[in-house]
Amino acid sequence: MDDPLIRFTDAKGRAMVMVPADIYDRLRALAMQALAAAPPPPVTAAIAAGKHPIAAWRAHRGLSQHALAAAAGVSRVWISRIEMGAGHGTATTRARIALALGVTVAMLEG
């Protein structure tokens, strides 16, 4: 199979690549999906500062532990234990919390 890319150097000496439009469109769509899936800066900063991802997302969504617990159908005690690192909850519990926060389970891994 021939390489569909065209490589060249521009007038400023930068290495450049030209790709067919269908490849560009697929790459752009993948990049947009990745950007949409990335946590917003306040969540990233809170996690970097040591906050549990569930606590960071919960604060970002403006939810109390009680509100998140009610939306996820789990006890507030479990939310608190998970956020403090004293428990993980079952896969079902984590899935319910992720759904209530509008994120993937992977985004809640700490």
Q: Over range 1-27, report the average pLDDT.
A: 87
Which residues lie below 8 Å from residue 77, measured CB to CB, with a gap of 6+?
A: none
- 108 or 1, which is more confident: 108
Q: What are phi and psi of 61, to 5 degrees?
A: -85, -5
Q: Over range 74-90, report the average pLDDT.
A: 92
pLDDT band at 35 (very low <50, low <70, confident <90, very high): low
pLDDT at 87 over 70: yes
Secondary structure letter of residue 90 according to DSSP: -
Q: Which pLDDT score is estimated for 24?
A: 86
Residue that has been written with the tokens 């896969």 in this structure: 91
pLDDT band at 110 (very low <50, low <70, confident <90, very high): low
pLDDT band at 38 (very low <50, low <70, confident <90, very high): confident
Quote the CA–CA distance of 110 and 104 in Å, as a whole number.
13
pLDDT at 65 over 90: yes
